[in-house]
Amino acid sequence: MPTIREIAAKAGYSPATVSRLLNNDPSFSISDHARKKILQTAQNLNYEQPNTTHGLSYQVATIFAVQPKQELEDIYFSNLRQSLVEHGKQANLKLTFYPDIDHIPHDIDGVMAVGEFDSDALHKLRQLTPHRIFVDSNPDLHHFNSVQPNLQAITEQAIDQLIAAGDTPIGLINGGYWNKDQQVTHQQDPRQKYFESRLRELQLFDSRFLFIGGEFSVASGYRLGQQVVQSLSKQALPKGFLEPV
């Protein structure tokens, strides 16, 4: 990691100025131009700001609303749980996992939520604490902050890489979501929309190669695989499949 002196030399400011800015000195005043230049320089040099909480530990309640079976079948969720714990330790966050919102004490510093929640649970969460964040999704943009993957960029990048390799036509094997309040309402996964939009734009979309299941699960993926074989048994298969299931 670069030193304060290296950042200062590159940005054109004194080490004292850079140090006070990067260490969040509350009494330090600096122009917006200088602030932006120093922070951009630090970012370009891959500077990681040290922990400045001075031993303070924040109590964060974590609701991991993912079924155990789903977590066992999908490595994404098991890796996500592990990442939350590891990065929480680095940031002096003491994460305590709770089975539901009703078990969370009122003296916590914040709440982190993963998974799907019905409207009643979301209302309780809004009443519990103003410090709340969703990871991987956001059920209500008006009331919650979130950290989410850029699904559009990921989908379009995968398509562009397949096209660059000459692997067209391209198919999609995907799933969807059930509305938590009304299980009869099936919601489209946004990656399907991005997939169709990008291929239509490139005039490469072929609905014959679109296979959508009811949910994301091993069983659903297996059924879709059988459907692919049956549907395309008498014609050429796509050169590539996107399969975020």
Tokens of 16: 């004292």
What CATH number does residue 211 fall under? 3.40.50.2300
- The H or E element containing residue 192 is helix 190-201
Last residue of a domain, one of 127, 147, 167: 147
**Residue 215 contacts residue 176 (beta carbons within 8 Å):** yes
- The H or E element containing residue 211 is strand 210-212
97 lies in the same domain as 28: no
The pLDDT score that the predictor gives to residue 92 is 81
Last residue of a domain, one of 105, 124, 147: 147
Domain count, the chain: 3
159 lies in the same domain as 237: yes
The pLDDT score that the predictor gives to residue 53 is 47
pLDDT tens-digit readout, 1-59: 788 999 999 999 999 999 888 887 767 888 888 988 998 898 888 887 665 444 457 89
Would you call 154 exposed, middle or buried from its count of C-beta atoms within 10 A (0-12, 13-18, 19+)?
Answer: middle
- Distance between CA atoms of 124 and 129, rounded to whole angstroms? 9
142 lies in the same domain as 202: no
Using alpha carbons, select from 170, 188, 168 the residue that is nearest to residue 178: 188
209 pLDDT exceeds 90?
A: yes
The pLDDT score that the predictor gives to residue 136 is 92
Instruction: Identify which has the larger pLDDT, 187 or 189.
Output: 189
The pLDDT score that the predictor gives to residue 35 is 87
Asked if residue 52 is part of any domain, the answer here is no
Last residue of a domain, one of 147, 169, 199: 147
156 lies in the same domain as 215: yes
The pLDDT score that the predictor gives to residue 76 is 86
pLDDT tens-digit readout, 106-149: 889 999 999 889 899 999 999 998 999 999 999 899 999 999 99
66 lies in the same domain as 109: yes
Asked if residue 50 is part of any domain, the answer here is no
pLDDT tens-digit readout, 144-182: 999 999 999 999 999 999 999 999 999 999 988 766 665
Using alpha carbons, select from 103, 104, 116 the residue that is nearest to residue 181: 116
- Distance between CA atoms of 78 and 72, rounded to whole angstroms? 7
Asked if residue 222 is part of any domain, the answer here is yes
Q: Averaged over 227-238, what is the pLDDT?
A: 88
Asked if residue 49 is part of any domain, the answer here is no
Cis bond before residue 50 (omega within 30° of 0)? no
Question: pTM here?
Answer: 0.66
> Would you place residue 184 in the very low, low, confident or very high pLDDT band (cuts 50, 70, 90)?
low
Coil, strand, or helix at residue 242? strand
- Distance between CA atoms of 37 and 32, rounded to whole angstroms? 9
33 lies in the same domain as 64: no
Asked if residue 183 is part of any domain, the answer here is yes
Phi, psi of 207 (to 5 degrees): -65, -20
Sheet holding 58-65, edge to edge: 93-98, 58-65, 110-115, 132-135, 145-147
Range of the domain at 31: 4-44
141 lies in the same domain as 162: no
Asked if residue 51 is part of any domain, the answer here is no
Q: Helices then strands (H, E): number in the chain?
A: 9, 10
- Distance between CA atoms of 169 and 86, rounded to whole angstroms? 41
| Alpha-carbon radius of gyration of the chain | 23
159 lies in the same domain as 214: yes
81 lies in the same domain as 12: no
> Would you place residue 186 in the very low, low, confident or very high pLDDT band (cuts 50, 70, 90)?
low
Asked if residue 202 is part of any domain, the answer here is yes
Number of Cβ within 10 Å of residue 67's Cβ equals 13
Asked if residue 33 is part of any domain, the answer here is yes
139 lies in the same domain as 161: no
The pLDDT score that the predictor gives to residue 46 is 84
Phi, psi of 140 (to 5 degrees): -155, 95
217 lies in the same domain as 162: yes
10 lies in the same domain as 28: yes
